[in-house]
A and B are shown apart, each in its own frame.
Chain A
Amino acid sequence: MPINLETPRKFRPLVEQAHTVAAEVLRPISRRYDAPMQHAYPKELDMLASLIDGMNDSGGTGGAGAAGVRRTEAGGENRNGSNLSTVLSIMEMCWGDVGLLLSMPRQGLGNSAIASVADDEQLARFAGKWAAMAITEPEAGSDSASIRTTAVLDGDEYVLNGEKIYVTAGERAELVVVWATLDRARGRAAIKSFVVERSNPGMKLIRLEDKLGIRASDTAAFSLEDCRVPKENLLGSPDIDSKQGFAGAMQTFDNTRPLVAAMAVGLTRACLEETRDQLAKAGIELDADRPVALQPAAAAELLDMEADYEAARLLTMSAAWMADNGRPNSLQASLAKAKAGRTCVDVALRCVALCGATGYGETLLLEKWARDAKILDIFEGTQQIQLLIIARQLLGKTSAELR
């Protein structure tokens, strides 16, 4: 089987479908849910969600959303599975609108966490439900090992207490995957994730954030006050010293980071296509064969941005491909997230500048994409956290040595 980095033939229909959805459904309502309706639920998405469920269930092509990231065993023939098909469809959807993708029912990052670490019984029990992810706290963002939300076993239930912020789709989801510690004295090994029903009276919505971008997506803050969940809702092993502890929880990120990278890649392409069109109207076209120094400056800049886009896109696909083939991809996932995150911010901002007043104004979506972009270099691990993860792996350093 030769080396091939093209979109797999079998996924092309899925990609085209996702692209059509992005162009016909997401783009037309992009502005509407950005400003005037920012905390209104985009009703248009319900129909779309059913359509995506259909895509997920159609078999063979794998998932179209965040639920499709369950890992497979290593070895055997080359596989192009749900990790790859998911990043490809997310790229298309985020070419449409990142905020709306994040509001897509049943495609939350909590679904990824469940898909990644749940056992078969839990997987069946939570199937078809929309799950958000709650990790960050007012006093613990990137430093997720020091979260303060506690979980105490009381009979057949865990009792959760604490405060969670920045929960994407937290208001609208049916489930929230909450990270909490079983014993704050025992560090990261004691951190577990718990599936909490959104209707649980112990989990109270405090507020929704007012944000720079991705306004179509609700970002919730919760307080957990004696919030009781069945002990069967703990994902992974309840043992504190088991390898399924913090490492297991962190493993979720190996699967979700390529998804966020894919969001960034999709947004980057949207910016580049719009800018290419705008520049073409201004008489600027890139001749890829001629030396960069002989191109008009704007065309040279376009080439430079396209090159970074290409690197980000291929890194993302390779991280997903590794997951599909059961290869450890923690390093690759962070390479992809770091590159795609910074590329989308850099490209979006440069595109706004290149297009001048048209780029900065609200007639086009460029300025919105430049606002949306920034979150992609922050959530699921900031740029700096990705660089730390990469460096620790390459240099063989622990988090105590390389802080």
Chain B
Amino acid sequence: MTAADRSMALALRGLNKLAGSDVLDRVGLRKPVERAVYRGTKSSVRAAGAASRTFSAATKLGGPKRLVPRTDRGLFDLQPDDEQQMLREAFSDFAARVIRPAAGGADIATAAPKELLDQAAELGLTMLGVPEDLGGAVSERSAVTTVLIAEALAHGDMGIAVAALSPAAVGTSLSLWGDADQQARYLPALVGDDAPAAALAILEPQPLFDPFALRTTAADGVLNGTKSLVPRAAEAELFVVAAGEQLYLLESGAEGVFIEADPAMGVRAAATGRLLLQDAQAQPLGTPEDYREAVHRARLAWCAVTVGTAQAVLDYVIPYVNDRVAFGEPISHRQSVAFAVSNIAIEVEGMRLATYRAASLADQGKPFGRATALARQLCVTKGMFIGSEGLQLLGGHGYTREYPVERWYRDLRAAGVMEGGLLV
């Protein structure tokens, strides 16, 4: 079975299961609301990190496995390859049928439904950045593929997409920068059945946060500091943490690891938490250069989800302004309304192309930091413009929770804030 066949099989198996299961009925509002009550009572309590399982190496490897960079055929091309196309369609379908209907409830509950996350894992999300030899689904590294999938998921809901992609960020970190022992110890569990939640923690709570001037310190692998807005922090069993000038692997059960709820304006379904580290023992992962690359890859992933959500705004406002009648005709017949739609379309396409370009450079093994900075700048400024302008088109409706646009408005602010959490 080729890598393509395999991930296709995984994707199709997941979808097939989904279609036949009653998961859609179960991810309604009742459960998330119950959870919200539960979380509300516990959010002010500081808890120890989730009890982590014992990670042990299944097989010893001669050396670390790396995904090979894709080859540059030298032609400009915007057409995803067959595998990417198939994956994008599968995850778009999942986003439309499963994620979008669950989004409102998950936002209130500040958690994505567990069944949904299990389904997403079954679709092979964690495996996409992991080599076949270690149980992953791919032989070729592709940031573009991850971008396409993240975009598709976030079209359903950014918060749920972040929750679903969070363990993949750790899997990808390990396969990109882990040594043989680290890969053998952690990767099989991450890509296996009943995979643990895991998270990449870079962001810290101080204003003007700079990932290259971290306050979290690391002395001989002993971490001290605070990480903010870490996806699924309370249930994560394994963290990749930025400290000093590089990344560290940290098990949640280690001494000195504490978790606080850290809900935010948006991406609430990602169940963001604070990770408080007090003399927590961790092991280095990769080099300072690898960390720099991790920051770029994380920024790119946030670009991808921002593009997905911005596209969701565009797709939503088009029928809305056509249906909404004022002064005797659809409001879309007014240039002030129609031009707002045009401007959203222009900017979302620019954001998308800049993001694809940076990801494609990453896949070609070329420097992509600068291209990423440009994509990020577009996603931060135009993404928020789209969130605000989209809501404006709905007027008072947009301001109520009856419509999803206020959520997208909150979510789209994340692009300018987030560092880490996701990885392409």
Could you list which residues of chain A lie within 8 angstroms of chain B, going by C-beta atoms?
A: 1-10, 78, 80, 84, 288-294, 303-304, 306-308, 310-312, 314-315, 317-318, 321, 332, 335, 338-339, 384, 386-388, 390-392, 394-397, 401-403
Interface string of B96-118 (1 = CB under 8 A from A): 00000000000000000000000
The answer to whether A1 touches B79 (Cβ under 8 A) is yes
Known contacts A3-B79, A4-B74, then 17 further A-B pairs from the complex at CB < 8 Å, ordered by chain A residue: A6-B357, A78-B77, A78-B79, A80-B75, A84-B76, A289-B292, A291-B209, A310-B375, A314-B353, A315-B346, A315-B349, A315-B353, A388-B342, A391-B339, A392-B338, A394-B345, A396-B322
| Bound CA span A137–B75, Å | 42
Chain B at the A interface: mostly helix, strand, loop or mixed?
helix
Whether A289 contacts B346 in the complex (CB less than 8 A), given A5-B78, A304-B381, A397-B332, comes out as: no
Interface size class of B (residues with CB under 8 A): 35 or more
Q: Are B338 and A78 neighbours in the complex by a CB distance under 8 Å? A: no
Given contacts A304-B377, A311-B350, A311-B351, contact A394 B318 (CB under 8 A): yes
Q: B79 near A391 (CB under 8 angstroms)?
A: no
B214 CB, nearest partner CB in chain A, Å: 13
From DSSP, what is the main secondary structure of chain A's interface residues? helix
Q: Closest 8 interchain pairs by CB?
A: A311-B350, A9-B74, A391-B338, A288-B373, A314-B353, A307-B377, A5-B357, A390-B342
Q: Which residue of A lies closest to B344 (CB)?
A: A394
25 examples of A-B residue contacts, CB within 8 angstroms: A2-B71, A3-B360, A4-B75, A6-B76, A6-B364, A8-B75, A78-B79, A290-B210, A292-B380, A303-B374, A303-B377, A306-B374, A310-B350, A310-B371, A311-B347, A312-B350, A314-B353, A317-B76, A321-B76, A335-B349, A388-B335, A390-B341, A395-B321, A397-B332, A402-B338
Contacts of A395 in B (CB 8 A): 318, 321-322, 332, 338, 341
Q: Looking at the complex, which one of A1, A339, A386, A401 makes contact with B350 (CB distance below 8 Å)?
A: A339
Using an 8 Å CB-CB cutoff, how does the interface string of B190-230 with A read, 1 for contact, 0 for none?
A: 00000000000000000011101000000000000000000
Kindly supply a per-residue 1/0 record for chain B positions 50-81, scoring 1 wherever the CB is within 8 Å of any chain A CB and 0 otherwise.
00000000000000000000111111111111
Is B349 a contact partner of A388 (Cβ separation < 8 A)? Answer: no
Give min CB distance, A302 to chain B, whole Å: 10
- A387-B342, A395-B318, A401-B333 known; A294-B353 Cβ under 8 A: no
Across the two chains, which residue of chain A brings its CB closest to B378?
A307
B411 to A: closest C-beta gap in Å: 20
Instruction: Give the complex CA separation of A321 and B305 in angstroms.
Output: 25
Q: Shortest CB–CB separation between residue A345 and chain B, in angstroms?
A: 15
Give, as a whole number of angstroms, the nearest-CB distance from A386 to chain B.
8
Closest to A6 in B: B76
**Chain B residues close to A by CB (< 8 Å):** 70-81, 84, 142, 144, 208-210, 212, 292, 295-296, 314, 318, 321-322, 332-333, 335, 338-339, 341-343, 345-347, 349-351, 353-354, 356-357, 359-361, 363-364, 369-371, 373-375, 377-378, 380-382
CB distance from B383 to the nearest CB of A (A): 12
A307 to B415 CA separation, bound complex (whole angstroms): 15
In the complex, A293 Cα to B417 Cα: how many Å? 11
Q: Select one of A294, A314, A403 contacting B357, CB under 8 A.
A: A314
Nearest Cβ on chain A to B49's Cβ, whole angstroms: 28
Q: Which of B144, B339, B370, B381 is within 8 Å of A2, CB to CB?
A: B144
Residues A321 and B378 in contact in the complex (CB < 8 Å), given A289-B295, A293-B208, A401-B333: no
